[in-house]
A and B are shown apart, each in its own frame.
Chain A
Amino acid sequence: MEIIAKLDKVSYIYENCQDLVLKNISLDIYKGEFLGIIGPTGAGKTTLSLVLNGIVPQFYGGRFFGYAEVAGLDTLTNPVSKLSRYVGAVFEDPETQLLATSVENEIAFTLENLCLPREEILARIARALAAVRLEGMEKKQPNELSGGQKQRLAIASALALQPALLILDEPTSQLDPVGSQEVFATVKELNRILGMTIVMVSHAAEEMAQQADRLAILEAGAISALGSPNQIYSQIEQLERASLRAPQVAKTFWAINSRGIALEKIPVTLETGLAILPSLTSYYHRPVWQDPPSINSNILLKAENLSYTHSNGTEALKNISLDICSGEYLLIIGQNGAGKTTLVKHFLKLLSPTKGSVSLKGISLENLSTSELALSIGYVAQNPDNQIFNSTVEKEVSFALTNLGYPAKEIKEKTCQSLESMGLLEARNLHPLSLSKGDRARVVIAAILSMDPEIIIFDEPTTGQDYQGAKAILEMTRQLHQMGKTVIVITHHLYLMPEYAQRVVVMGQARILLDAPIRQAYHESEILAKTYLVPPQEVLLAQELARLSGIPSPLLTSAEIAASFDL
């Protein structure tokens, strides 16, 4: 097979750093293949992809060892602008990679830099837009596009260069399930139909298992495993040791296998998993599960006939009525633009209803200010950095208490308690921004806890986190729930939530489509589909088991499914 890119004993250290980010990496990338790169945060995945387009080391400096070439060009000696003709790149954040004010100008930008004639630019724009199915949107502004469309535009602008290799670094991590599906479908088409070589860094295990030809695991800067998705994702224990997540279907069948039911191989895609299930139904007995304790009926937050219309006339919320009770763990899900964040902003009085009302413990929010509400409701935003304003962790945590006029002694006590509960006592004198992203989120939570609110809202807490990071944050939410707090989580990562949430509110088209216990909500596939959500693979496997066995199987996790199998 023809090699399109080659890394030979590549090692790299960033400027002013001492540790190697990449360690002796040798890798051949073949023409027309889809290579997936997986690994925990900090493993060097982004650095590796930046080596392929010469940005490392040409832009970052540092010390580079070994040899890397793409399309026969040495990435060390050929300028990035020349390499960019052969290597297209798409990054994680759709906002920072779109530079122009219209779709066509976005695609044209690189071609203009390469001094292509106008006629050629026009022809390439048409071809690139057709390849990502964005025809007819030439004159639209990028900020009018959805997240998935923005990433497809970023792909189109890379494609217009007609690159031999397309690198995508976490292109779906900030997208909702629909956007993510759009991007994977587009990349799949480019790879299978146009034969384009793809290198994709992603935590989306289910999609990578489906799409990639080969997977490389990167751990601490070195490749620890390289093989087909079947070879890589069926090694559940090895993945867990590397702090990685296997596709849910692989995890489920591995758990079944661990109960002594011998399987020829562990399936890694849903299709293969569903195909194996009929041969296992004889081992499937009455499903077992445990429901969470019943919810307290003491209403804390109440929204009545709540409607909200934006100044441009868009109806963001339509006639929402919702009761949230003390001590609940509530999950709010739905596609982008479904109204989730708009609803939560009404609870915080960051928005005021166009119609209807919201009350907290029977008191209308009309009579309370946002700063007064902060005593009862804490809010953790998606990006914790936007909630950090102080020079030390301790000052950050005591910030709210100072604002609220607490006496100095009480501020000290409450700050200490909050720091201790989040395990930050030793970091109290450090600058918050010197901590890891996970720890920065802990600082924000500690700051909110110091006010001792009854309700804590987490808005997309797991976005941009790897599996371990996401689990660590969700464990924190569990801890808070066990402390008696009412927890509200907004997320797109449905597969992470069965162990935590009790109740689910499904939003779509600015309305509540469903409000039910999680065990019921996750199995309402048709309602979820209305807001472009797909149940986790474990739920789909449970549904297939119910169909095959005729036994109702409202199961949610791989552990529950495996426990229902016996020799």
Chain B
Amino acid sequence: MYNSLWQATQKNSLISWLDFRSKLVMVIVITLIAFTWESPITSGILTILVALACLFSGIKLNYLATILKFMLPFYLFLLLTMGFFNVEQVKVLTNKSELTALLSIKGFNLTLEGILYGLSVIFKTLTMILVIPLGIFTTDLNQMIVGLTKIKVPYKIVFIFSSTLRLFPLLAQELEGIIDAQKLRGLSIEKMGLLRKARVYAAIAIPLILNAMVKSQKMEIVLQTKAFSGDNNRTYLSESKLSEIDYAFIIFFIVLLIVVLVLYVVFGVGKFWWLLK
């Protein structure tokens, strides 16, 4: 399962043909727009568009579902706290002195405006969570390495980043193996309380870290024999060239950012209460 979550997509899509630098521009622009917009409508549309782009680019629905499943408790918590307690900020944003109460529990009101603000925050974070895999998983790791070195990221840092991406599935596999081994020694994790579970996971860390240390020492020796020095001046098999499509893509996103900012500042498009007044 972990392998499939952390490897580059196989699908040939427009985005997978682009240079990593173009995708980096896209990730930055979308993140900035997500930060700027407060409206749940515009933020929601942006999230849906990014999610659709992920699916069209070959990122598995399974992956998106896993993210949602993982985030769901946080989002429910966020909605309730925003709905009940984020009163003053929402009053300022909506310019209202009284908020619309949907439900009242022991004097605490669950407000419509609070819920909408919570939704806006959820869409913001979801957009940021989804746009990163859209940039990373649609890129071959070697293309990414060359792309990053072209924008002057030191090779040693790029190597650490790429090794982490590659080694994550191996560590995840090992973790699964250790949990299985504990079950085979009579441990029923599924029936445990949180505290005991935490203690069990702490115990798992011992073999996991030791194995990781053994592996990293072996890898260090292998790197030595492969003449690795971390020198920025090495050559590359993969090529990173900006094509005309890349330039068009970059220009599109820069123009998009400018348009979004102008519409936001001048016409209020994307402000919290836009279209909801």
**Chain A residues engaging chain B, CB cutoff 8 angstroms:** 50, 53, 55, 59, 80-81, 84-85, 87-89, 91, 93, 95-97, 99-102, 104-105, 108-118, 121-122, 125, 141, 143, 157-158, 311, 348, 350, 369-372, 374-375, 378-379, 381, 385-390, 399-401, 403-404, 433, 447-448, 451
Contacts and interface: CB of A to CB of B under 8 A. Distances in A.
Nearest to A311: B1
B271 to A, nearest CB: 44
A115 B207 contact: no
Contacts of B166: 99, 101
With a 10 A CB-CB cut-off, give which of B184, B227, B229 has the most chain A CB atoms: B184
B204 A81 contact: no
Interface in B221-244: 221-229, 231, 233-239
Nearest to A116: B235
13 contacts: A53-B224, A59-B221, A81-B228, A84-B227, A96-B218, A96-B219, A102-B140, A102-B142, A114-B227, A118-B235, A350-B180, A378-B184, A389-B207
Given A104-B237, A374-B186, A388-B207, 20 more contacts: A81-B228, A84-B226, A89-B225, A91-B221, A96-B215, A102-B142, A105-B238, A113-B227, A115-B231, A118-B237, A158-B225, A369-B183, A370-B180, A371-B186, A374-B184, A379-B184, A385-B211, A387-B185, A390-B203, A400-B187
B58 to A, nearest CB: 15
Interface stretch (B26-34, B100-108, B170-178, B260-268): B170-178
Which 4 pairs from chain A and chain B are nearest by CB? A108-B237, A371-B188, A400-B185, A81-B227
Interface residues of B, number: 50
Contacts of B142: 100-102, 105
Given A59-B224, A91-B218, A389-B207, A122 B229 contact: no
Nearest to A406: B186
Given A95-B170, A105-B142, A348-B184, A112 B219 contact: no
With a 10 A CB-CB cut-off, give which of B1, B166, B218, B224 has the most chain A CB atoms: B224
If over half of B's interface residues share one DSSP class (helix, strand or loop), that class is named, otherwise mixed; here it is: helix
A99 B237 contact: no
B226 A110 contact: yes
B181 A387 contact: yes
Interface in B1-40: 1, 3, 7-8
A107 to B, nearest CB: 9
Contacts of A55: 221, 224-225
A59 B177 CA distance: 32
B211 A389 contact: no
Nearest to B223: A99
B210 to A, nearest CB: 7
B99 to A, nearest CB: 48
Contact of B211 (A375, A386, A403): A386
Nearest to B182: A389
A386 B207 contact: yes
A88 B142 CA distance: 23
Interface of B: 1, 3, 7-8, 140-142, 163, 166, 170, 174, 177-178, 180-188, 190, 203-204, 206-207, 210-211, 215, 218-229, 231, 233-239
Given A53-B225, A113-B228, A389 B206 contact: yes
Contacts of A350: 180, 183-184
Given A375-B186, A403-B187, A112 B234 contact: yes
Nearest to A375: B186
A133 B253 CA distance: 46
A375 to B, nearest CB: 7
Contacts of A375: 186
A390 B174 CA distance: 17
Given A104-B237, A118-B237, A99 B185 contact: no
B184 A109 contact: no
Contacts of A96: 215, 218-219, 222
Contacts of A447: 185
B122 to A, nearest CB: 30
B142 to A, nearest CB: 5
A103 to B, nearest CB: 11
Contact of A113 (B1, B204, B221, B226): B226
B239 A118 contact: yes
A369 B188 contact: yes
A23 to B, nearest CB: 23
B184 to A, nearest CB: 5
B235 A370 contact: no
A292 to B, nearest CB: 29
Contact of A99 (B211, B219, B238): B219
Contacts of B225: 53, 55, 80, 84, 87-89, 158
Contacts of B211: 385-386
A378 B174 CA distance: 20
B204 A389 contact: yes
Contacts of B222: 91, 96-97, 99
Contacts of B1: 311
Contacts of B163: 99
A80 B226 CA distance: 9
Contacts of B233: 115
With a 10 A CB-CB cut-off, give which of A87, A381, A389 has the most chain B CB atoms: A389
Contacts of A59: 220-221, 224
A385 B177 CA distance: 11
A193 to B, nearest CB: 24
Nearest to A396: B185
Contacts of A116: 235
A110 B186 contact: no
Contacts of A88: 225
Nearest to A141: B7
A390 B185 CA distance: 13
Contacts of B182: 389
B187 A371 contact: yes
B98 to A, nearest CB: 53
A81 B229 contact: yes
A490 B185 CA distance: 20
Given A99-B219, A112-B234, A433 B226 contact: no
A403 B236 CA distance: 53
Contacts of B228: 81, 109, 113
Contacts of A84: 224-227
B231 A113 contact: yes
Contact of A117 (B140, B178, B221, B235): B235
With a 10 A CB-CB cut-off, give which of A91, A109, A121, A401 has the most chain B CB atoms: A109
A112 B215 contact: no
Contact of B236 (A87, A114, A118, A370): A118
